[in-house]
A = this chain, B = another copy of it.
Amino acid sequence: MTGLVHRRRFTIEWGACDPAGIVFNSRFFEFFDASTWELFESALSVPRSELFALHGIAGIPLVDARARFLVPVKFGDAVEIASFIGEFRRSSFDVEHRLSVGGELAVEGRETRVWAARHEDDPLRMRARPVPAAVIERFTVT
């Protein structure tokens, strides 16, 4: 029994790179966010725009994001991001991202997110809710 791993491949765009010719750091966090949406679509078999309404939550907002940059990623590089849940806790979880170029690990990312409903008093604030067991189960490959 292991965890579901979502992989996607794409080529680094000109507009994602800085004057040093390498990916500007904030772009990796965009890449990770997009991978997380795809991971959830894949696990829950629901298009991203219906993902949260269906589960009665408002979203899975970030409370912590981190990246370690091991090897520069350049314009035109063919990259692969492998994404999986590192750990489910009561109402939060870690999404791990491994971005590699030609099989070499280049950037490691971790997002800590919360399973969250909209706060009653302030629609822009969120309130953590327990992650349903049925959701967690969908990330397990038997």
Contact = CB atoms under 8 A, between A and B. Distances in A.
Interface of A: 11, 13-15, 17-22, 24-30, 33-34, 37, 47-49, 58-59, 61-70, 72, 74-76, 124-126
Given A15-B30, A29-B29, A37-B13, A63 B68 contact: yes
- How many subunits of this chain does the assembly comprise? 4
Given A25-B65, A64-B66, A33 B49 contact: no
Contacts of A69: 61-65
Contacts of A33: 13-15, 24-26
User: DSSP majority for the A interface?
Assistant: mixed
Given A11-B48, A15-B24, 10 more contacts: A13-B30, A13-B33, A14-B19, A14-B33, A15-B18, A15-B33, A20-B61, A21-B124, A26-B28, A72-B126
